[in-house]
Amino acid sequence: MNQDLANKFENYILCARSIVVCVHKSPDPDAVGSLVAMQRFYDNHFAKKHDAEIHYIIPDELPDHLQWMIEGERDKYLIDDDFQKGGERIFNDAELIVCMDLADSARIAMYGPLFDKSDAVKVNIDHHPQICDDFDFVVRDMSVSSTSELLFTLLSLISVDSIDSCIANALYAGILGDTGSFSYSCDKPSTYYVVAELLTLGAEVEKIHELLFNNYPYARTQLLGYVLDKKLKLVKVNNEMVSYYTLSVSELEEYHYKPGYLENVINYALNIKGVKVAASFVQRNNNLIRISLRSKGKIRINEFASNYFNGGGHPNASGATVYDKSLEECVDIYLKNIQEVF
């Protein structure tokens, strides 16, 4: 990251009369934190010298425990079903599309085809290793903890005076979420320098931790108990321990599943002594299975996700979506091939 890169990004914003800023489907704290920070920064900094139509897009409804992040400003975002309120026109008119915390158009769900055919300048701000070739300008650093950390550096170079406590809270939430409360992807001093800056700017660290990790409904706790008691399996593969759990559509329905209920649950499968790799296989409908993979240390689970499930992500935290296999088939592939990562 350098001043020249920040200046170019600022110029893209100032030259566009119609802007779309979007994050990925199944939004997590990093995605939402980045988007909220960008929205607030635009209002604080760019709106003073720039008049543009700007839309902030979240392809799915926010989980209950993330609703606080847009509290009081819900009308500033197009979320999930709001797509029907002019999504096609918004993308057709856009002169600039900024995608944050996502690497390709498939991650913005129903907006993907609109992104693909748009003639707008396309900007990517991300920390993931994989990226498509459709972007005209890329701000990417795989060494940072999160898109929120990367965005803080970018916005600071543009105008640190425009970063208020609301932006600091949003970005801190993103960093906290993408590091599992500083338990992974956080071994660089730069992450802690950014956090220190955010505290100086007003981030409420204890409050944010409470809202992110101690703010789940009772039904989610019941589902967690069921996973840990009945579904979590430990298997020895080539003298190494791996774990996994599966959940079917009927099991999700029994526990009144809502988006966000399984966030961080896989970490319970990974934090067992001796376990090096953990996986979850969750059937969202009869044709779709969502896979999450986690690993410890230098075990690169993203390569395994890519090779066997056409997925990807970070070296220690990856995922995939499978449409043509059963839960049993996915587990079988996992157990038969996971020894390759050791």
- Tokens, residue 341: 């990562």
**Is the per-residue pLDDT at 275 higher than 70?**
yes
The pLDDT of residue 130 is 66
The pLDDT of residue 25 is 85
Tell me: the pLDDT tens digits for 20-77?
Answer: 999 988 889 999 999 999 999 999 999 888 888 999 999 888 888 899 999 888 889 9
**Is the per-residue pLDDT at 83 higher than 80?**
no
**Is the per-residue pLDDT at 289 higher than 70?**
yes
Question: Helices 165-178 and 189-200: crossing angle, nearest 10°?
Answer: 150
Nearest to 92, CA basis, from 69, 70, 68, 111: 111
Domain ranges of the chain: 3-213, 218-341
The pLDDT of residue 295 is 93
pLDDT classification of 186: cutoffs 50, 70, 90 = confident
Question: Helices 29-44 and 165-178: crossing angle, nearest 10°?
Answer: 160
The pLDDT of residue 14 is 95
C-alpha angle 169/54/82, rounded to 5°? Answer: 85
User: Which residues, at least 6 apart from 318, have a Cβ–Cβ distance to it below 8 Å?
Assistant: 292, 293, 301, 302, 304, 305, 306, 311, 312
d(CA 237, CA 83): 46
The pLDDT of residue 78 is 86
Tell me: the pLDDT tens digits for 148-177?
Answer: 999 999 999 999 999 999 999 999 999 999
**Is the per-residue pLDDT at 131 higher than 70?**
no
Three-state DSSP class for residue 230: helix
User: Which residues, at least 6 apart from 139, have a Cβ–Cβ distance to it below 8 Å?
Assistant: 1, 5, 9, 123, 124, 125, 126, 150, 154
**Is the per-residue pLDDT at 84 higher than 70?**
no
Domain 218-341 bears CATH identifier 3.90.1150.10: no
The pLDDT of residue 262 is 92
Share of the chain above pLDDT 90, in %: 68
What average pLDDT score do residues 229-233 get?
Answer: 97
Mean pLDDT: which of 69-73, 210-214, 278-282 is highest?
278-282
The residue among 326 and 142 whose pLDDT is bigger is 326
| Number of Cβ within a 10 Å radius of residue 19 | 25
CATH of domain 3-213: 3.90.1640.10
d(CA 219, CA 222): 5
For residue 297, give the DSSP letter.
T
The pLDDT of residue 88 is 81
Tell me: the pLDDT tens digits for 256-267?
Answer: 998 889 988 999
| Cβ 275 vs Cβ 288: under 8 Å | no
Tell me: the pLDDT tens digits for 301-325?
Answer: 999 999 999 988 888 888 899 998 9
The pLDDT of residue 82 is 66
pLDDT classification of 101: cutoffs 50, 70, 90 = very high
The pLDDT of residue 20 is 95
Tell how far CA 43 is from the center of its chain.
23
User: Which of 116-130, 223-237, 288-302 shows the lowest mean pLDDT across its residues?
Assistant: 116-130
User: Which of 66-75, 269-278, 323-332 shows the lowest mean pLDDT across its residues?
Assistant: 66-75
Buried b (16+ CB within 10 A) or exposed e, 256-266: ebbbbbbbebb
The pTM of the full predicted model, rounded to 2 decimals, is 0.86
d(CA 105, CA 91): 13
Torsion over CA: 327, 329, 330, 332 (sign): positive
Three-state DSSP class for residue 41: helix
Mean pLDDT of the chain: 91
pLDDT classification of 121: cutoffs 50, 70, 90 = very high
| Cβ 104 vs Cβ 122: under 8 Å | no
